[in-house]
Amino acid sequence: MVHFNAGLAQELGFDGANDALLEILSGNRPWPGYTPLASVYAGHQFGSWVSQLGDGRALLIAEIAKPDGARVELQLKGSGRTPYSRGADGRAVLRSSIREYLCSEAMHALNVPTTRCLSLVSSPHPVMRERQETAAVVCRVSPSFVRFGHFEFFSHEKEALALLADHVISEHFSHIEGESRYRSWLLEVVERTAKLMARWQSLGFCHGVMNTDNFSILGLTLDYGPFGFMDAFRLHHVCNHSDYEGRYAYGAQPEIGLWNVSRLLQAALPLLSESDDEAAEMASEIYGSYAPVFSAEALRLWTLKLGLRDVREGDAALVGRFLDLLQSGRLDFTRGFRNLSRVGISNALPDEVRNEFAGTKGFDAWLTDYRSRLSIEGRIDAERAACMNRVNPKYVLRNHLAQGAIEKAEAGDYSEIETLMRLLSSPFDEQPGMESYAHPPPEALRHIEVGCSS
């Protein structure tokens, strides 16, 4: 056991880690009374249709009720071959497992809807990727692992499609009832997806592989592969070096979310109406709800990051100009927003802020307009700063931090994983002695690349 998430375990009603649980969480023994399951799905991968994919290295090992009555699924990732492994080994390597384990919990602490991780188990079992590595198994936890791709797989089998949709609605959208339930359900899925994209954008988070089979029907962040939190802000930042065309660049994520929604709606057309024309009209209406939901949620989040209580005319332009400053100055996204809390309506600009934006053309003009906008609301600086620091994290899982933990772990030292878990569980808090973890990466580590070879 490399790491056991004691906080999540308590939420699930577990007493703690022990040898028997280790056997289950490593994939060496089944959950008592449960037959493991791997599911089939399809998907659009980098825009190209693949008619059959599936849980190639993921295995559903249990469905349990939490003490509060909510049902969750436990899924192992990397436990071995399944019927959908497509000739591969069904394994995951230690480096990618560490990244998923840390980031899913970091995102949870950042208030982003996400799957979570209960445990990280390592093994000396050799796994060949670009080089020989060692294996690891993560236990993921979610109310459901159903993806857009599940509906794409069954899109030409109306009976199976309806059965799957009815199950998802009954289990996870129980407030939706009646003859129009499929329309209402799809509308809510679209809205959840739009809001998730807005949340990712507001944190500078890049998913890296936004294929339809990696999109959760519950609007959760799913499948942490070559993800990344931006350091220096760049609208066209691509975190996945396998994404040669930049399809899933940071600035493209909202549009890709919409495109993926269109694929889900296309798959679900048989549920909406017996009439093709009526089904297409209903799907178009649902599709049209994405853009206004995303825009409203994104603007709400951006203005909160600027410390604004209400959204007013001109705020979108103020946000856009600040992002332009970050990009033109190649400034750190997370630090840039965090440091804004130090700006008062009339105080002398703190040295840390002045140094951050030194030489950035247009900053002084923007600062004048920003302070003017703050003065309209009339809030006390300290009150506003406290609110800003609850939405602008000080600590995120930067690539070089994850890489440091990986290199230590590969040498047999797992201490940095525990350090990062503690740090990232309170990302908005000042943590004395941990300030170096909030710094941008040193020059030698600024160009770490991640890809799909895990």
Count other Cβ atoms within 10 Å, centred on residue 373: 18
Beta-strand relationship, 3-4 and 43-45: unpaired
- The helix-helix angle for 415-424 and 94-109 (nearest 10°) equals 20
Query: Which residues are CB-contacts of 365 (< 8 A; sequence separation ≥ 6)?
Result: none
CA distance 209 to 214: 7
Among left, alpha and beta (phi > 0; psi -120 to 50; other), residue 4 is: beta
Selecting among 213, 223, 231, 332, the annotated active-site residue is 213
DSSP states of 9-25? HHHHT-----HHHHHHH
Quick check: is 231 catalytic?
no
CA distance 138 to 118: 8
Determine contact, residues 42/51, Cβ cutoff 8 Å: yes
3-state secondary structure 398-436: CHHHHHHHHHHHHCCCCHHHHHHHHHHCCCCCCCCCCHH
CA distance 444 to 296: 39
Catalytic residue positions, numbered: 213
